[in-house]
Amino acid sequence: MPRVSLGGMEVPGKVVKVKDVKPEPVTEGGAKGVTVRWLISEKDGAPNFSMRYFEVEPGGKTPEHSHPWEHEMFILEGEGEVVIGNEKYRLAPFTAVYVPPNELHYVVNTSKDQVLKLLCLIPHTKR
Ligand SMILES: [Zn+2]
């Protein structure tokens, strides 16, 4: 049974609050006003997937890019748009988004005053 190292102790699994994970600024690919927190990753011994929590400031934007792995996103709070290939979709809370491999994509926070909060899951070791 795989165990997770937590503060020097080996425990089965991990339960973590967003506020207890350090936000890291996202700067590549023209990103603006974006932070990421790696809630669950390879470091926890997860064999396949990473769960990441993003905050996008009003007017902010995630990197405009494409790559050979997919994204599975879930919008928690706020509003905005996601561009996937040639399509643009509205984002609202409790909406799920699938970005297929190799499609150009990015997320924009179109709100003037609300932070856009979302989860983005990927095969880990990939960004
Ligand atoms: Zn991406």
Residues in the chain: 127
Q: What is the pLDDT of residue 4?
A: 72
**How far, in Å, is the centroid of ligand 1 from the Cα of 3?**
29
CA of 58 to the centre of ligand 1 (A): 20
Alpha carbon of 1 to ligand 1 centroid (Å): 32
Which pLDDT belongs to residue 37? Answer: 98
Please give the pLDDT value at position 83: 98
What pLDDT, on the 0 to 100 scale, is given for residue 11? 76
pLDDT digits (tens, 9 = 90+) for 81-118: 999 999 999 999 999 999 999 999 999 999 999 999 99
Domain ranges of the chain: 18-123
Output the pLDDT for position 12.
Answer: 81
Please, what CATH class does the domain formed by 18-123 belong to? mainly beta
Could you give the 3-state DSSP secondary structure of residue 17? Answer: coil
Please give the C-alpha separations between residue 24 and each of 1, 3, 104, 109, in angstroms, as whole numbers. 31, 26, 23, 18
> How crowded is residue 5: how many other Cβ atoms within 10 Å of its Cβ?
12
Positions in the chain whose pLDDT score sits under 50: none
